[in-house]
Amino acid sequence: MKQNGFHIIFIFFLCTTSVFAQLDSIQQLPEVMLTDSKLVHFSKGFKLEKLSDSIIERNASSLTETLRYNSSIYFKENGFGMVSSPSFRGTNAAQTAVIWNGININSIFTGQTDFNTISPFNYNEISIRSGGGGVQYGSGAVGGSIHLNNSYSFKKIDSTQVSLNYGSFSTVGGNASTTQTWGDHYLSLGVNFVSSENDYDFVGKNRKNNHGQFLRFAATVNEARRLKRGVATWNSEYTYNDRNFSGSLNTIGKDGYKDVATRNLWQLQQKIGVFDTKASVAHLFEQYRYFPDSEKPLFDQGRANTFIGALQTEIFLRKKLRINGKMEYSYITAKGDNVGKNSRKTLAAVVLLNHKISAAFSYGINFRKEFLNDFDNPFLFSADVKWSVSKNYELRLNGSKNYRVPTFNDLYWYAGGNIALQPETSYQLELGQEFSFGKLKADIATYYISSEDLIKWIPGSGGIWEPVNINKTRNYGAEVVVGYSVKIFSQHTLGFTANYSYTKAEDLEKEKQLIYVPFHKATGTFQYDFKTLMVYLQGLYNGGIYTTTDNSNAVKAYKIFNLGSEFTFRSNPQITLGARLKNVFDVYYENVAYRPMPSRNLQLFLKFNI
Amino acid sequence: MKKLLFLTFATVLFISCSNDDDPQPGPNPPEAYEKGIFVTNEGPFGAGTGNVTFISEDFTDVQQHIFLTVNGKDLGNIVQSMNFQDENAYIVVNNSQKIEIVNRYSFESVDSIKTGINNPRYFLGTDNNKGYVTNWGDPNDNTDDFVSVVDLRSNAVSATIPVSFGPEKMVSNGNKIYVAHQGGFGQNNLISVISGNTVESTINVGDVPNSMVVSGNSLFVLCGGNPSYTGNETAGSLVKIDLSNGQVSNTYNLAITQHPTGLTIDGANLYYNLDGKVYKVNSASVSLPGAEIINGFFYALEAHNGKLYATDAGDFASNGSLKIFDLSTNQQIQEFQTGIIPGGIYFND
């Protein structure tokens, strides 16, 4: 944790940079372009939810928190702040792709993203795309994908934000970011950190969480430059996490984990005639170090470098037909104490098409074919339809074939890794309906996912565990999203949003619900606004989950409430003060068996908009 | 106060909650477990709890998680092994870093050992005032492995004996303790001979000695051999040691790709697991692999009074089972559900 001091100094250095500023520069967001524009253009018949900044700020301690309280995704979190893996529509942790500016950043080793290592502050936009996205986003976009996007603009922007927060369990955090434009330049810089002793009470157990300290630091640079017929962009981020892994009800925490990731993406976009062409180069680096005893210098480590080169071109004919063709080459080289030194080359060809037949009806067809892989090269496809039946009612329909490639751990783990593994494949169908009556909006999605060749580690002969393509699962369920807001008198607004999901995820051989997939999950937020005062109550219901494959053991359902308030002073600079009381009723709950989650706790924050 | 107690108890129950077979609260009458079989269940990976299943000698009574039932608390994470000494059973809970001591007949908690051990594996008592515990220490450190000497009157560790890496099972003969160094996460090939508080000598055996039995004046050590992934695969073997002089008298090798486990003895016959089969070998005239008698992948194996007790851990993430075979016919005669990863079988005779 030595770097802590350095990080803090860096933040204060940044804080002092922008003294002269205008009050409401960020309110009037000018025309903004996403680094990954495909997301919007070729997902018309898919459920795409964008989380607003205010929602993200409310649950900003980690991406786990942001999504847990604002989506139907379930997170299996090994104690607060520890390893956190998602289950999206009942699929496994490696079947949710995390897409950073259009690039899949799931770990080369585990195939997953640990959602507690990602700061929600680093991005201009966080979106949830439900359902299969394998054609566009590659391996792992099975249950759905989480999109962490940066954007740029060349309108006048001069905006700086600095926030500090302090809370229970010696939790300290800070975030500073500045966005500036001048001439043909766009530049955005940001740093943030959070550090916590994380020694919360196990409610009613007369014990505290031990050995669960964590530190997360992130820094970002996003730059864009307008060129004669296009634009050049650079997106960059660095994250560092240093965590001790906490004990549980019957274990003493001893181990620790440190990870570093850097991500860089350079894109050059040029419009040549009708062709909008983009060349991109990306580099991803990930490194982890696992310390069986955090007090000792012994560790196991792994590091991976991914190089990606891509060329894509898009045409948009008569404002109706949009076609995008892309070739992408990636080279991954990884070295780990448990997996040796290995590499993987993949060439992918992707064709995306969206056709707007009328203002009310559009459809899309997408294909992906891969080459060079050691396993069977997948051919993926998806099709989607969006139909606005009336101004109150819209229909979505999509179907896709998706895959998840074996990870380097699956293939090369010493001992047990199986180089004969094939990708997991899944087929899915989704029907979505959107209702809109004034301020009342509702979305009902129903889906069916059939997966086969799922990779599972099983004990082989001689007692060595080996991964094999053995499992078959069937997932189906429904998701409901409701939003409503009403103005009472002139300056009072009451808002309500809620998510509910029913998920049946069945192991077809055992005919049992998969472990760590709740049948029911619901979230809801009531919000009251008066001028610049905002008060909200946030609730989460997580249904019971099975922890054994024969469904003989379970973790009980729980309900958690958080209460928060914010007040903004219309000063210059604009200052916002906020407080959030989490787990208001001080409920004992576990997210993973025998790992209690935090007792009632308070967070305070102070934010300057300069 | 009573209500509080009840609430605490109820919470404990709910945490370990099992859907269909919640334990009935309240202590059992003394000697409830006097005659029968205990199966220790390691419990799920991660943070869960292991437990102990009891099956009465006449097979009419089966009880799950008896430690929780009797004592109202979880046993702990990774229940590695159990052993008896006099009135007590010593349950080694590896990842919770403790040894729970219970009365072997009532299963009521007597005491626990939490200091002087580090990643404990097995317990062996030698008389009413002395016991030994094998410890891995830090599994990544091959130089800190040790055997703890426990004073069974105070249940305090009175001495530690540094040993070669990966100490596991122990047997005693005369006044000596024989410790098999299976090798932890790696591979070792030694037996340490401990007398009092010192290592008196070591005996080189085959690679990965995983189980031992004493028969007359001989110690049979079953060595799994190095697995293929080590890049230095070696054959499994059965090593016979003459206990009168501590010398290896015979080594019987299997094929290089054969890696046996689970040596057990009943009368004159040795039994072990290999590639989904149980083999029988006459201890007086050893010839490997011996006779194939039963099919099945078993996690633990114990022969006892004409029967073979074998556990099936299934997918290691759901309840396992104990199968009982009649060794005169080699037919299965009983099957009982156990907890998750049933790793040890013990007879309370």
pLDDT at residue B20 tops 90: no
Which chain A residues have a beta carbon less than 8 Å from that of B120? none
Which residues have C-beta within 8 Å of that of residue A210, sequence separation ≥ 6?
Answer: A199, A246, A247, A252, A253
What's the one-letter identity of residue B95? N
At residue A77, the pLDDT reads 94
Query: What is the number of residues in chain A?
Result: 610
DSSP A115-156: GGG--GGG-SEEEEEES--HHHH-TT-SSEEEEEE-EE--S-
Tell me the backbone φ, ψ of residue B69, rounded to 5 degrees: -60, -45
Contact B166, B184 (CB under 8 A): yes
Q: Supply the range of the domain harboring residue A215.
A: 2-609
Average pLDDT over residues B169-191: 94
DSSP conformation class of B18: B
pLDDT at residue B18 tops 80: no
**Half-sphere CA count of A220, side-chain side, radius 13 A:** 27
Q: Which residue has the higher pLDDT, A463 or B94?
A: B94
Angstrom distances, CA of residue A556 to CA of A518, A546, B13: 10, 9, 11
Contact A362, A395 (CB under 8 A): no
Tokens of B293: 């008698």
Residue B77 C-alpha, separation from nearest chain A C-alpha, in angstroms: 6
DSSP B208-253: SEEEEEEETTEEEEEE----GGGSS----EEEEEETTTTEEEEEEE
In Å, the largest CA–CA distance within chain B is 66
At residue B205, the pLDDT reads 97
Could you say which of A296, A462, A548 has the minimum Cβ distance to residue B318?
A: A548
Q: Do B259 and A462 touch (CB under 8 A)?
A: yes
Tokens of A553: 């053991």
pLDDT at residue A12 tops 50: no
Nearest to A77 by CA among A88, A66, A65: A65
Q: Which of A251, A418, A591 to mutate to test the interface with B (most CBs of B within 10 A)?
A: A251
Contact A467, A456 (CB under 8 A): yes
Nearest to A605 by CA among A582, A588, A587: A582
Number of domains in chain A: 1
Contact B88, B102 (CB under 8 A): yes
pLDDT at residue B3 tops 70: no
Residue A341 C-alpha, separation from nearest chain B C-alpha, in angstroms: 16
Query: Is B208 exposed, middle or buried (CB count within 10 Å of its CB: 0-12, 13-18, 19+)?
Result: buried
At residue A164, the pLDDT reads 95
Q: Which of A202, A210, A250 to mutate to test the interface with B (most CBs of B within 10 A)?
A: A250
Binned at pLDDT 50, 70 and 90, residue A462 comes out as low
pLDDT at residue A317 tops 70: yes
Q: Do B47 and A551 touch (CB under 8 A)?
A: no
Average pLDDT over residues A196-213: 94
Tell me the backbone φ, ψ of residue A515, rounded to 5 degrees: -75, 150
At residue A21, the pLDDT reads 31
Which chain B residues have a beta carbon less than 8 Å from that of A556? 14, 17
At residue A218, the pLDDT reads 96
Which chain A residues have a beta carbon less than 8 Å from that of B143? none
Convert A296-305 to b/e letters by CB count within 10 Å (16 or more is b): eeebeebbbb
At residue A365, the pLDDT reads 96
Check whether the bond before A415 is cis (ω within 30° of 0).
yes
At residue A24, the pLDDT reads 32
By C-alpha distance, the chain A residue nearest B320 is: A550
The 10s digit of each residue's pLDDT in B23-70 is: 444 455 557 898 999 999 999 877 789 999 999 999 999 999 999 999
DSSP conformation class of A63: H
**DSSP SS3 for B91:** strand
Average pLDDT over residues A139-146: 94
Which chain A residues have a beta carbon less than 8 Å from that of B48? 547, 553, 593-594
The 10s digit of each residue's pLDDT in B299-341 is: 999 999 999 999 999 888 899 999 999 999 999 999 999 999 9
Tell me the backbone φ, ψ of residue A463, rounded to 5 degrees: 80, 5
pLDDT-wise least confident of A68-77, A457-466, A510-519? A457-466
**The three-state (H, E, C) secondary structure of A356-411, written as one string:** ECCCCEEEEEEEEEEECCCCCCCEEEEEEEEEEEECCEEEEEEEEEEEECCCHHHH
At residue A38, the pLDDT reads 81
At residue A461, the pLDDT reads 61
**Half-sphere CA count of A484, side-chain side, radius 13 A:** 11
Q: Do A250 and B47 touch (CB under 8 A)?
A: yes
Nearest to B185 by CA among B166, B163, B170: B166
If interface means Cβ-Cβ distance under 8 Å, which residues of chain A face chain B?
A: 78, 204, 248-252, 292-293, 296, 298, 300, 414-416, 458-459, 461-464, 515, 547-554, 556, 588, 590, 592-595
Residue B316 C-alpha, separation from nearest chain A C-alpha, in angstroms: 8
The 10s digit of each residue's pLDDT in A341-395 is: 999 999 999 999 999 999 999 999 999 999 988 888 889 999 999 999 999 999 9
Q: How many Å apart are CA B277 and CA B294, to the nearest integer?
A: 6
The 10s digit of each residue's pLDDT in B97-116 is: 999 999 999 999 999 999 99
Residue A84 C-alpha, separation from nearest chain B C-alpha, in angstroms: 14
- Averaged confidence pLDDT in chain A: 90
Binned at pLDDT 50, 70 and 90, residue B2 comes out as very low
Q: How many Å apart are CA A408 and CA A94, to the nearest integer?
A: 13
At residue A364, the pLDDT reads 96
Q: Which of B9, B49, B234, B272 to mutate to test the interface with A (most CBs of A within 10 A)?
A: B49
By C-alpha distance, the chain A residue nearest B114 is: A252
Query: Is B323 exposed, middle or buried (CB count within 10 Å of its CB: 0-12, 13-18, 19+)?
Result: middle
Contact A48, A39 (CB under 8 A): yes
pLDDT at residue B13 tops 70: no
The domain that holds A247 is classified in CATH as 2.40.170.20
Q: How many Å apart are CA A103 and CA A281, to the nearest integer?
A: 11
Q: Do B17 and A554 touch (CB under 8 A)?
A: yes
At residue A10, the pLDDT reads 36
**DSSP SS3 for A530:** strand
Could you say which of B46, B297, B318 has the minimum Cβ distance to residue A552?
A: B318
List strand residue ranges (DSSP E) for A249-274, in order: 256-272
Positive or negative CA dihedral for A56, A58, A60, A62? negative
Q: How many Å apart are CA B176 and CA A576, to the nearest integer?
A: 74
pLDDT-wise least confident of A6-15, A112-121, B170-179? A6-15
Angstrom distances, CA of residue A528 to CA of A498, A525, A584: 15, 10, 18
- How open is the CA angle A583-A586-A590, to the nearest 5 degrees? 75
Query: Is A561 exposed, middle or buried (CB count within 10 Å of its CB: 0-12, 13-18, 19+)?
Result: middle
Could you say which of B16, B261, B315 has the minimum Cβ distance to residue A549?
A: B315
Q: How many Å apart are CA A370 and CA A425, to the nearest integer?
A: 14
**DSSP SS3 for A12:** helix
Q: Do B318 and A550 touch (CB under 8 A)?
A: yes
Kindly state the percentage of chain A with pLDDT values over 70.
Answer: 94
Angstrom distances, CA of residue A177 to CA of A194, A510, A566: 15, 51, 20
Residue A286 C-alpha, separation from nearest chain B C-alpha, in angstroms: 23
The 10s digit of each residue's pLDDT in A578-594 is: 999 999 999 999 999 99
Q: Which of A339, A412, A548 to mutate to test the interface with B (most CBs of B within 10 A)?
A: A548
pLDDT at residue A4 tops 50: no
Number of DSSP helices (H) and strands (E) in chain A, helices first: 6, 38
Q: Do A249 and B47 touch (CB under 8 A)?
A: yes
Q: How many Å apart are CA A116 and CA A218, to the nearest integer?
A: 12
Kindly state the percentage of chain B with pLDDT values over 70.
Answer: 91
Q: How far is CA A343 from the centre of its chain?
A: 26
Q: Do A553 and B17 touch (CB under 8 A)?
A: yes
Convert B247-263 to b/e letters by CB count within 10 Å (16 or more is b): ebeeebbbeeebbbbbb
The 10s digit of each residue's pLDDT in A533-577 is: 999 999 999 999 999 899 998 999 999 999 999 999 988 889 999
Average pLDDT over residues A35-60: 86
**Half-sphere CA count of A3, side-chain side, radius 13 A:** 15
Could you say which of B15, B18, B138 has the minimum Cβ distance to residue A594?
A: B15
Tokens of A511: 């005919």
Q: How many Å apart are CA B32 and CA B103, to the nearest integer?
A: 11
pLDDT at residue B14 tops 50: no
Contact A568, A606 (CB under 8 A): no
Residue B75 C-alpha, separation from nearest chain A C-alpha, in angstroms: 8
Tell me the backbone φ, ψ of residue A291, rounded to 5 degrees: -105, 110
Strand partners, A581: A563, A602
Residue A519 C-alpha, separation from nearest chain B C-alpha, in angstroms: 16
pLDDT at residue B5 tops 50: no
Average pLDDT over residues A21-44: 62
Residue B20 C-alpha, separation from nearest chain A C-alpha, in angstroms: 7
Binned at pLDDT 50, 70 and 90, residue A463 comes out as low
Average pLDDT over residues A458-478: 84
Q: Do A204 and B139 touch (CB under 8 A)?
A: no
Query: Is B5 exposed, middle or buried (CB count within 10 Å of its CB: 0-12, 13-18, 19+)?
Result: exposed
At residue A8, the pLDDT reads 37
Q: Do B138 and A293 touch (CB under 8 A)?
A: yes
Which residues have C-beta within 8 Å of that of residue A230, sequence separation ≥ 6?
Answer: A268, A269, A270, A271
Tokens of A219: 């820094």
| Helix residue ranges, H only, chain B | 2-15, 66-71
- Averaged confidence pLDDT in chain B: 90
The 10s digit of each residue's pLDDT in A146-180 is: 999 999 999 999 999 999 999 999 999 999 999 99
Kindly state the percentage of chain A with pLDDT values over 90.
Answer: 79
**DSSP SS3 for B150:** strand
Look-up of token digits 């892994």 = A245
Nearest to A99 by CA among A113, A110, A84: A113
The 10s digit of each residue's pLDDT in B144-166 is: 999 999 999 999 999 999 999 99
